[in-house]
Structure formats: C-alpha cells, structure tokens
Structure 1
Amino acid sequence: MAESGSKSVLFVCLGNICRSPIAEAVFRKMATDAGVVDKWRIDSAATSTYEIGSAPDDRGQACMKKHDVPMAHVARQVTNDDFMGFEYILCMDNSNMTELERRAKQVKNYQAKIELLGSYDPEKQRIIKDPYYGSDEDFEKVYQQCLRCCKAFLENNS
C-alpha cells in the first residue's frame, strides 16, 4: 500500500511502449514543474506481454524530446500488486479498460480506481488511440491528449 500522504498513479496501455510511457513522462514533468512530484508514485505498464523489457517507441521518444519532456521507461506488464499499490490506474481505451477490470476481479479487495485517462479530457476525447501503426502526427496527438488529461487529473488531485 502507498504510504499515507502519498498519491499514486499507474498509466496503462496495450504494450507500454507508446501511450502509457508518454502519459507517465508528461505527468511526471507536470508534477515536477508544479513542485509536487515527491508526493506521487508514477509508473506505467502494459495489459499485454508483447513488449516486456522494451524501451519506449522511437517516435514517442522523438516527440517527447521535441517537447523537452524527459522519458525513461522499460515496458512491464500490470501485476496483481498494482491493483493494491496504486490509487489510480488510468488507461487509454476500452479494450485496456475491459482487460484491467477482468484482471482486477482476480485481486481480492483491490484498491485502485480504474478509469480512462481520457475521462479527464476537457475536450471530451475519451479514447487515446494507439499510434503504433500511425505517423509522427499520431504520436503528437497522443502527447497533446495526455497533456490535457494529465493537467486536469493533477488539478483534481492536488
């Protein structure tokens, strides 16, 4: 369980190399800039096993570099402990949500609030689409969505 007074968020997508590490990096920078990063445990993970051990997608890294957002992550899969250890698990689309809800049922008395990151979007774009088969513009769109959603999420939790 997270220590009292500390907050925690886990960002989740399918492979943990595109959307969730971008969201994690964006949120970490935002919390750092706001002077509250010490109050947060921030991580990201995958629903699948496809990319375990991989670095974030090169296009995502290039996008983060362009926006001066530091990013360092190694892909991992969501564990049962995550459902107990994180206050919020924020995912990118409905299939992530379905999979997380299925996994959560295997964890007795799990604590985490499982939500779509997009549910925080002031522009109401609830789904953050996987840019993996897309272009640099698709990664930029993910970044912009994460920026809006993370800002609103942080404001709700500060």
Structure 2
Amino acid sequence: MGNLLHIRSGPLPAWLLRSHLRNPCALPVRNLPRPFGTSFLPAQLPGKAKDSPAVFGRRRRTSVSLAVSAETGPQKVNVLFVCLGNICRSPSAEAVFKDKVAKAGLTDHFSIDSCGLGGGNEDWYLDRGWAYHEGHRADERMRETATTRGFDLTSRSRPLKPEDLTAFDYILGMDFDNMALMQIAADHWAATKDIPANYRNKVKLMCSFIPKSSSYNGVKEVPDPYWDDDRERRGFHRVLDLLEDACAGLLDTVVKEHGLQPK
C-alpha cells in the first residue's frame, strides 16, 4: 500500500496504528475524513429512514426487462466492484463475476469493471487528487491465488470517478469503510458535478449477496488480505471463497431483476 490514511482528527493511537498495519481497512469509519462536516454511518444515510431502499448495503429489488435492439443488441447491465486500492479484492470480484457470467452464457448482457478508493491517499477524489496503485496490475499474490482456481486477473487499478455513479447499475463495496469513502466522494462531487439522485440505490455491500444456503451467510465484509504474510495465503483464499459465493448470489439477483436469458 505504501502509505497510511492521514486522520484529520489527530494522530492514531498505537493500538489502532498496529491494527491498521495488519489490515488497512480496519480503521473505524468515524475516523475517516468527512467533507462539509457530514456524519455518516453505513447503515443509515443522512435524511434516510433505516428501512429506506436508498440506504447503502440494502438491496432494492426491482423487476426490469432489458430492451433488445436489432442494431445494438441487448442493453447491458453495468456492474462495478470497489475496494480500497483495486489490487486485491475488487479485481478478484471482477474476474470471478466475469467467469460466472460467461459460464451462464450471459456475457453479452453485462459490462463489468472494478476500481479503487485511493489506496490510502485521502485526497484521491479531489480534482488534483491521486490514487496509489493507479495503472498497476492486481497484487501478484492475489493473481497467483486466483490462478489456482482458474480466474485470470487482467485489470489495471483505477480510482472511482464521478461518472461511475451514473454509468453503473450495481456498485459493490467490499467493506463498510469502502461504503463510507464512496459516500464522502459522492458528497463532494455532488457540489460541482452531475451526480444522479438515485446513485445511493446502486451502492451495496458485496457480502449482502451471499446466498442463505452458503456457509458464509452472515459474513458482512470481504476482508483486505494485503497485509497477509501467511505462506499458505489463507487470507487470499478466504477472499475468493467469499467472492465466489457472493458473485453467484449477485448474478442470480441480477438475472431475476432484469429477466435475462442466455444468448
């Protein structure tokens, strides 16, 4: 990762710094920078009731049939996977989901991508901001672990952009900190850019799609394996375990909501 988040509220206590070194996603949401003095909890957004379908992490079920044009083919469902640096979890989710979509014969119905949230640089979403790992391939350990399961991680890291909130129909965060960072960026962009009013309906936790039948049902977050130094790479395997189940549930949900049929 190369750097730690700078916390506006003051220096990190030693115990929290040690926790962050082990897991860069372990920082509490309350310590993340908040533009405009906003107060955000992943379970409830400002001005939204707890049972609102616009709350991050909650599913909003709809029934939509995709139009088919003789000239352009089927309208695509756009899916974006998001994590902190876009080098471990989200590129893995992208590869796993593409594989499941292809095996279901639905490749022509989807546009699938992944992105990051600065990789630890707190100003990544500002006009002159930048993101760690941008342009880099996925972490070598993640790529090697994914290869053992037949998944090929080919994407290059990029940060989330304002236009992504318009272009994508499903935006999947890997953990609650990812959800908070997306909220912060969207709040900032909304002041100067055209952000769709319904973008909150699109943003959901990846693990919310894990099927009830899965042994991982009840797991809330996909943990960041970046600091995992286990020779067996159990942290990387756990990421893939969770993503395989979550992607299966996500595909099932999208197929039902959009009435997709194999080509």
**Structure 1 gaps, min length 5:** none
**Larger Rg belongs to:** 2
CA distance in 2, matches of 1:84, 1:111: 9
Q: 1:109 — aligned with what?
A: 196
Question: Which one of 145, 148, 155 corresponds to residue 252 of structure 2?
Answer: 155
Corresponding residue SS for 1:75: coil
Residue 70 of structure 1 and its aligned partner are, at CA, apart by 2.0
If the length of structure 2 is used for normalisation, what is the TM-score? 0.57
Which one-letter code corresponds to 2:209 in the other structure?
Y
Which one-letter code corresponds to 2:206 in the other structure?
L
Q: 2:135 — aligned with what?
A: 53
Matches within 5 A, 1:1-158: 5-48=75-118, 49-105=131-187, 106-107=189-190, 108-112=195-199, 113-122=202-211, 123-134=217-228, 135=230, 136-158=233-255
Q: How many residues of Structure 1 are paired with residues of Structure 2 in the alignment?
A: 156
Q: Which deviates more from structure 2 when the two are superposed, residues 99-108 or residues 139-148?
A: 99-108
1:54-86 deviations in whole A, cap 9, x for unaligned? 100111111111011122010000000000000
Corresponding residue SS for 2:163: helix
Residue 42 of structure 1 and its aligned partner are, at CA, apart by 0.3
Corresponding residue SS for 1:97: helix
| Identity level (%) | 32
Residue 46 of structure 1 and its aligned partner are, at CA, apart by 0.3
Q: Given that residues 13 and 45 in structure 1 are in contact (C-alpha distance below 8 angstroms), is that contact kept between their aligned partners in structure 2?
A: yes
Q: Given that residues 172 and 205 in structure 2 are in contact (C-alpha distance below 8 angstroms), is that contact kept between their aligned partners in structure 1?
A: yes
Q: Given that residues 117 and 181 in structure 2 are in contact (C-alpha distance below 8 angstroms), is that contact kept between their aligned partners in structure 1?
A: yes
Residue 40 of structure 1 and its aligned partner are, at CA, apart by 0.6
Q: Which deviates more from structure 2 when the two are superposed, residues 64-73 or residues 7-16?
A: 64-73
If the length of structure 1 is used for normalisation, what is the TM-score? 0.94
Which one-letter code corresponds to 2:196 in the other structure?
N
CA distance in 2, matches of 1:66, 1:95: 29
CA distance in 2, matches of 1:124, 1:58: 29
**Structure 2 gaps, min length 5:** 1-65, 68-74, 119-130, 212-216, 256-263
Residues 70 and 86 (structure 1 numbering): CA distance in 2 closer, same or farther, change over 3 Å?
same
